Structures are given as structure tokens and as C-alpha cells.
Structure 1
Amino acid sequence: MGNPTSIANSNIFQPKHPFPIILKFEDVVYKIGTTSEKTILNRLTGMISPGELLAMLGPSGSGKTTLLTALGGRLHGNLTGKITYNGQLYSGSIKRRIGFVAQFDVLYPHLTVFETLLFTALLRLPESMTRPEKTQHVEQVINELGLNRVRSTMIGGPLFRGISGGEKKRVSLGQEMLINPSLLLLDEPTSGLDSTTAQRIMTTLKRLASGGRTVVTTIHQPSSRLYHMFDKVMLLSEGCPIYYGSGSNALDYFSSIGFSTSLTVNPSDLLLDLANGIGPDSKQGFEQGENSEQEKKEVRDLLVSSYEKNILVTLKAELSISDNIINPKDASIRSKGKCEDQWCTSWWHQFKVLVMRGIRERRFEAFNRLRIFQVISVAVLGGLLWWHTPSSHLQDRTAMLFFFSVFWGFYPLYNAVFTFPQERAILVKERSSGMYRLSSYFLAKSVGDLPLELALPTAFTLILYFMGGLNPKPQAFCLSLVVILFNVLVSQSLGLAFGAILMDVKKATTLGSVTTLVFLIAGGYYVQKIPPFIAWLKYLSYSYYCYKLLLGVQYGENDYYECSEGVYCRVADFPAVKSVGLDGFWVDVVVMAAMLVGYRLIAYLALQRVR
């Protein structure tokens, strides 16, 4: 975890002071619902200056995270009020000055701590910085956050162990600190951590604020040690503010309006009781279940009205005075020395880094032993079943070709379905931070997967093709392999589209199962006389086109086979071949190419609506 003393006394990025930001929000209201609206935030007002640490307290559902999301420019919908940064509204240049750390650490499990921070630096720091400079920046973050011991350890996930929860939180914080943010927003940074680790995290945040940053954090139930580290406290109750001001003055304020206690308590405990509508003198009754909802409502109403009388008027006066604190010439949040354009890096740079990161992340997943065993064992078993099938056994040969089209039409689809639903949280997080364009991410995902996705079907084809006794000519084999790999890409494209549209693994796999079953039946092998009113289904099946192309590679219109002893028949007249035909080779290629492009375009458009 690192030495807490060295962490507390270190001077993170102090030589590089961030541009100061005064954050103000006035009468912020947020409602959800169309028919019956529910107010989540109700006229919230406040101001945080550089060097201050504001903690937003309140019970679950009080609106803390919603307000934090709004302050970070990430809340969309029925939001009213005014949120300004040095008097300016939210913009792309402001976005690059904001660091946002979510409650749950969204990180790639198979990347190490160093790789995670390095790829973030390569994407978020401007191209004017060289790679060695960015690497040095990463090393500084690792040293300052006490992550040296685990720098080469994988982050870890549900299926394998990696770094601890506190270390993950510091990695998430490190990702934001790489851009030297002027405004740092954190959602429950101590959630799920032990008291010592929580203390270290808050000590780091306090130090970052003292370096000239504006720091805002939500926190559920801080210990008394943590509470006394807050410069300002905002207390919310069901979306309404009931206190805003110095943390050290909170108990005196509530005593002045009739909510005092003779007991020595953690200030945050008393504040949360009040936010829940429980006065200090009624706590015993609450423990016995005697507090009615009406009593709680009366307490909340009294606290809200007291806030409006005693705090809100003074607070709004402070907001108007603060407009003159920063020199008007410096008021605009410029990107001087940082990013000149909307993006810190070019499209090509983003594409290269994302391809590299994707390969690093999937290096264990794509070639894991179980997956290799699964594919190779099926190929060997199929090769034994179709061992050197004679050319006269046309039924078995066509069955083998259809098996190629079916297996490599369904297997990639089910793997691809998981891609975007599993990465949704990371995509939302990184896109919200302005790390890269969606097009660079999507193409990097498509290109980066090619070597991994095409290696196994190539090995599969090498084994089954020659064990099954298909046409041994190099041209026939190469064309068959190309058709199968083409089929893999089309199948993968459909899986990506299903995953991107539904963003739910269970729903996407269910839809994939139904679709592949239809494609299987209408693929031209099992049902050769499809009724005219439903015959159009086969033209939607990429398995149908793959099967037809494989037949076209193996046989010509004038090829013959021994249909009975001493009797030869045309291959084109065999029922399983006649049902699909041997003509229209290039038409089938064009149709599959259109499917490949169309499915991927659908997936890309579906990703654009993900927020």
C-alpha cells in the first residue's frame, strides 16, 4: 500500500500548479420521469474555490452522485439552473481540466498498474509531449500514490485476483491526476475501504486541494478523523440542501436551530440522522421503531426552511462577490500548453494506442488454453469422422462444407456478443473524459481483434480440410480458407451489432441463438424446398452464402461424381448442391461484403447512443 507518511508528506505535482477554477452552481434542479416527474435535485446552490475540499454528505438516494455528475458536465436530461467554471459554461476545454473518479473502479482487469496508467497518459496527454515524457509522468504518479510495489501486478477481476481495493482506487485517482486537473470530482472514494486506507485516500485528496485544485467528493458516512479534513460540507436530504458551510461550524449551526446533543458523537453521524429526519432527542425512539414518517417530514421541513433563512441568503451574496476574485483576462478556461483542438491527440495516434491496448488486454483471453482446446478438439474430432471422405460420397462432403459454414458462423458471433456489453462502463468513462473519438475506438477494436479472431479458424481449417480429404490443390485450399475467414468476420460483425444494440449479454445471446437457429435451418442444407412465402430467409443467412461459396470452390458446373457403381452423375444435380447452385460466385461475395459493412455500421451507430 505504500508508506502513509511518505504519501502524506510528498508534494504531488506541486511544481506544476493547475489553472485555478472557481466552481459555482446556482438553483440546480434535476427531474426525471415524463408523466409523473420526480425531483432528484431541488434548488441546490454552492461555491468551491481553489484549495478547498468540499464533501457532500447525505443518506443513500439524497442526490449526492447526481449533483456530482451534473458538476462534471455528465448529466443529461431535465437539468435546470446554472453551473459555471470561472463564470464560463461547460465546454470541451473545461472538460480537459476536470478529473472525475467514479465510485466503482472501471479498469481493464488484464492490464498491469503501469500499463493502465501508461495507456491513459498516451491518450489523454497532448501529442506535443514525447512518449518518454509521458512515461516519466506515469512514473511520478506511481511514486506519489505509493503504487510502486504493485506496478507490475494486474488489476484483477471477478475471476482472478489482482491488486487490492484501495490500490484500485489509487489507480483510478492516478488516471485523473495524469492530466493535472484543476477540478477534481470523486464519487464515494472511500467506499468499501478500511479506515486506514480511507484515511490515506483522503489525505491524498487534501494534499491535492492544497496544491491549488478545487476538490469535490461525495462520501456516505465518514469517520470523525475524515470529517475534520473537510473544508466545506454540504448536507443533502431527499435532494434538498439543509446545510452548506464549514465542517467545523456544522454542529454549532444545528444547535442554534434547536438540534443539539449532550453526547459526544461523530459529527457525520449527527448530520446523517438529521438528513434522515431524526432529531438528536428522538434517536432512542427511532431505534425502537417509534418514529413516524410524519415526524421525519416535520424535521426535514424545519431543516430546509432554516437553511433558506440562515444560509442561502448569505451564500448567494458570496456567489455574487466571487465574480470579481479572478482577473477577467484569466477567466476563460484556455488550453494553453495543453490541447489546441477538441482532442488532445490525433485520430491516428488514438487508433494506434487503442489497438496496442486491446491486444495487451486480450492476450490472455483470446489464446487461453480452454479456447484453443475447444477449437482444436472439434477440428480433430471432425477430421476423424470425415477421415479422407471419398469423392463419391458427395453427401458427406457437402455435410462437411456445411459444418464449416455453420461452426464458423456461430462460434465468432457468440464471442463477439460479449464485447461491447462488457466494455460499456469503460467506454462511457473514457468517452466522458474525452480520451478518444468513437470512430478510433471502434476501428481499433475491429482491427485489433483480427489476428486473434482469425488464428483459430485458420488452424481449424488446416486440420479438418486435409483430414477430411477435400480438394488438396493449393488454390482450392486458399480460396476455402479465405471464404471461411470472410464468414468469421461477417458473423463477428453481427455479434457486435447485437451486443451494441442491446448492451445486455443475456438479451444479446438469446437474440443470437434465435438468429443462428434460423440461419442454420435456412442455410440450404437441411431444408432444400423452402416454401416460397418464407424462402427469403435464406438470403439473410451468411451461412447460406458461405456454404454456397465453399461448394463453388470445390466443384464446377461440369464436375461429376460416382453416384453408384460405374455410374457418374453431375455434381450440380445433387439435391444438397442444386438447392443453392454453383453460380453467382462474385454476387455472393458482394452480398457478404455488404453484410460485413452493414452490420459493423449498425454496431457503430448503436454505440453512438451509449452514455
Structure 2
Amino acid sequence: MMGDKNRSEYSAVDVNGSAIDLSDDIDIFCTASERALLDDKRLLGKDDAGAAGDEQSTCIPMKDNGNPVSHLTFHDVQYEVKGKTVLKGVSGYLPRGKLLAILGPSGAGKSTLLDILAARQKHGRVSGRILAHFTNPDQYDTPHVDLLKSNAGGMTLDGQYQQLCGYVTQEDSFVANLTVRETLCFWQALRGSKNGTAKQITKILKTLNLTKVEHTVVGSPLKRGISGGEARRLSIALGLLISPAVLFIDEPTTNLDSYAALKVMRTIRKLCDKGYTVVCSIHQPRSNIYDLFDYLMILSEGQSLYYGPRADAIDYFRDIDIDIDIDIDIDIDIDIDIDIDIDIYLYI
């Protein structure tokens, strides 16, 4: 079947390396909304130009020197929509293989910043600079990619940059009747990859600690399946299908108990140790999760209260003068200080 030029667009490779055709199962497994989700090219790792033939993608966890992006920098990033300023001059720097956590109360701009850094289309006006610096500039004919158009207020959505980014949404969306492995095969097939993927998917399952449940049905609220923590790790596994240099994860611990949340974050930490650069938004992490971060970005009302190494954050807030001239609501500043100094610090 693999040699058939007319084989289905929706085909994959099972655990034994045999071709499987999923086209007849799509309408059975998927609701209309699920099918619409699966057909979203951006979620499948394709850019607007149709980067279908990702023949070079290995889906294998990379070593540090295999990450094509040496570091990510963003300077004075602002975002306005419908006359409201959502982000106000946010700047930062992230080396490869590091984990950045974007913290802040609800409505602070965490998900908005994550979307902009991940080159997800925004309808408002974006300004500033976002640069992905390449480890080997000769491979890309440029030392870096500038994500934003100069003075245009719009996003370039550079194809090279998008192919280097993986994005994991806050909500887990799967086809309930598929197993964990079938879910990965299904999404890989929808991406249009013609590579044999059985070994690659096996490595992703191992990396995300999903091997024990690879043949378990994913399930849904009405159909028993994998646990919430396993579902979250499966979402991250889908983000790894394109072998991203930078992985963006929106609220990875939402709706998880403390044990499952810690297990998910330890898995993300291991990805960084393998060379992936990870940026995640997160709300009020416990101390054992907080200690896994390399860098922190703390936002309040779209403004950066702190950016820097996680190890320096508590001392920074201890030393800061309460009368410092920062144009924010003092109550919000204190709430964030308490979240760090009490909710986190007292767990140590």
C-alpha cells in the first residue's frame, strides 16, 4: 500500500511498520468540530504557504547542539486591539535548552505574549522586535529571522520561523476513539509526512512517558480513557511531531492535581535538558514546579514586573522599594509578590 501513488491522504504507519488507512474512519471518529480542528493547517504544523513536505523532520528529541535556534530575543513588544493596549513594552532573552515561565494573574497578557512569540496570527496591532537567532546562519542564509514587519504593525509569519515552532494549546482536543499511538499516527498523517513514523513516534512516546498507555483509548468526558496528566502529555507529544526548536505551551498544568501537574512539568524540564527551548504560561505554580524554571517573566496588566533568572526573582522582590515609580495597580503588585514569597517560598 505504501507504494500506491493513489493511497489515501489520511494514512499512517502502525507499531509494526505496516501502512494503515485512516480515511474511512475520520467521519466515524470525528464530530464536525473535531474534523475542523484536525483540518486546521496551523495546528497540524503547516504554515500558510503549505509546508507540507516536511521531509527533514525527524520527530526525535534533539541534543543541545542539534537545535537550529541558538537563542530567542524580544524587545519592546506591544500589542493593541480595539483601542486597548494589552502588552506594554515587554522584553526578554531566552537561550536554547532553557525553560521560560510566563507568570501573572488572569488577564495579565500571558497567553497573548505566548501567541505573539509563537507567530500565531493576531488581529490587533503588534510592534517591537522578535528575533530567532540561528545556530548555523549559513544553513538559513541569514543570522536570524525577524518576526515582525518594521513599522507595519503586523506579523510577518515567516515560514522558516513557523516550521521551528511547536504550539500546545490550553485545551486538550483529541479523537476519543483513537488510542494514544493512533492519535500521533493520525496527526502525523494529516500533516502530510511521507516518512515512516513508527520508530519516531515510539521515541516521542518514551520521551513523554506515554509508553505504558500507548494502546489505551484516549477517551472523553463520556468515555473512560487516559488520565488528565496523560492527556496533557499527549498534547505536548503532538507539539513535538514537527521537531520544534522552540515549543510554546499554554497553561500546561490547568485542571491537573498537584501530582499530575508536577509530572507534566518534570517532563517539560526533561525536554529542555534534551535541547528544546520551551516557553510556557502558568498560573501560581507550587514551589516544586517553580524550581524547575530557568527564567521568569512576571506580567501584570500587560507590563513586565520582572524578567530574569528564576533564582534571582525572590531576592529582587525582597529588595524592591515599594515606592518605586511603576505605573501599575499596587494591589496587583502585592498579590504577585505574595504568590512568590508565600505560596511558593513557604513550601520549600
TM-score range, shorter chain: 0.5 to 0.7
CA distance in 2, matches of 1:125, 1:136: 17
The residue that corresponds to 2:126 in the other structure is 79
The residue that corresponds to 1:188 in the other structure is 251
Equivalent residue of 2:206, what SS? helix
CA distance in 2, matches of 1:15, 1:256: 38
Report whether the alignment pairs 1:65 with 2:128: no
Root-mean-square deviation over aligned CA pairs: 2.4
Deviation per residue, 1:315-352 (Å, 9 max, x gap): xxxxxxxxxxxxxxxxxxxxxxxxxxxxxxxxxxxxxx
Q: Which amino acid aligns with 2:235?
A: S
Q: Which amino acid aligns with 2:77?
A: V
CA distance in 2, matches of 1:139, 1:173: 14
Contact between 1:183 and 1:214, CA under 8 Å: does it hold in 2?
A: yes
Aligned residues: 252
Deviation per residue, 1:17-65 (Å, 9 max, x gap): 33234211111111111xxx11111111111110211100000000000
**Alignment counterpart, residue 89 of structure 1, candidates 146, 150, 156:** 146
The residue that corresponds to 2:61 in the other structure is 13
1:169 CA drift (Å) = 0.6
1:221 CA drift (Å) = 0.8
Higher normalized strand content (fraction of residues): 2
Greater relative CO (CA pairs within 8 A, separation 6+): 2
CA distance in 1, matches of 2:338, 2:307: 24
Contact between 2:62 and 2:276, CA under 8 Å: does it hold in 1?
A: no
Q: Which amino acid aligns with 1:181?
A: P
CA distance in 2, matches of 1:40, 1:229: 28
**Alignment counterpart, residue 173 of structure 2, candidates 106, 122, 135:** 106
Report whether the alignment pairs 1:30 with 2:79: yes
CA 1:15–1:55: 2 relative to 1, 3 Å: closer
1:153 CA drift (Å) = 2.1
Report whether the alignment pairs 1:254 with 2:317: yes
Deviation per residue, 1:486-506 (Å, 9 max, x gap): xxxxxxxxxxxxxxxxxxxxx
CA 1:114–1:195: 2 relative to 1, 3 Å: same
Question: How do 1:41-60 and structure 2 match up within 5 A?
Answer: 41-60=87-106
CA 1:231–1:278: 2 relative to 1, 3 Å: same
**Alignment counterpart, residue 141 of structure 1, candidates 189, 197, 204:** 204
1:183 CA drift (Å) = 0.3
1:139 CA drift (Å) = 1.4
Report whether the alignment pairs 1:120 with 2:183: no
CA 1:122–1:15: 2 relative to 1, 3 Å: farther
The residue that corresponds to 2:302 in the other structure is 239
CA 1:41–1:75: 2 relative to 1, 3 Å: farther
TM-score, normalised to structure 1's length?
A: 0.39
CA 1:116–1:21: 2 relative to 1, 3 Å: farther
**Alignment counterpart, residue 232 of structure 2, candidates 169, 187, 196:** 169
Equivalent residue of 2:234, what SS? helix
Question: How do 1:141-540 and structure 2 match up within 5 A?
Answer: 141-258=204-321, 276-278=332-334
CA 1:96–1:52: 2 relative to 1, 3 Å: same
1:250 CA drift (Å) = 0.9
TM-score, normalised to structure 2's length?
A: 0.67
1:279 CA drift (Å) = 6.6
Equivalent residue of 1:110, what SS? coil
Equivalent residue of 1:277, what SS? helix
1:274 CA drift (Å) = 7.2
Contact between 2:104 and 2:336, CA under 8 Å: does it hold in 1?
A: no
Unaligned runs of 5+ in 2: 1-59, 134-143, 148-157, 323-328, 340-348
1:168 CA drift (Å) = 0.7
Equivalent residue of 1:121, what SS? helix
Provide the identity percentage: 40
CA distance in 2, matches of 1:50, 1:95: 17
CA distance in 2, matches of 1:52, 1:275: 31
CA distance in 1, matches of 2:293, 2:336: 23
Deviation per residue, 1:353-384 (Å, 9 max, x gap): xxxxxxxxxxxxxxxxxxxxxxxxxxxxxxxx
Equivalent residue of 1:140, what SS? helix
Contact between 1:20 and 1:213, CA under 8 Å: does it hold in 2?
A: no
Deviation per residue, 1:543-586 (Å, 9 max, x gap): xxxxxxxxxxxxxxxxxxxxxxxxxxxxxxxxxxxxxxxxxxxx
CA distance in 2, matches of 1:120, 1:227: 32
Runs of 4 or more, structure 1, over 4 Å off, are: 279-283
1:189 CA drift (Å) = 0.4
Q: Which has the larger radius of gyration?
A: 1
Equivalent residue of 1:197, what SS? helix
CA 1:166–1:248: 2 relative to 1, 3 Å: same
1:158 CA drift (Å) = 3.0
Equivalent residue of 2:249, what SS? strand
1:173 CA drift (Å) = 0.7
CA distance in 2, matches of 1:18, 1:72: 16
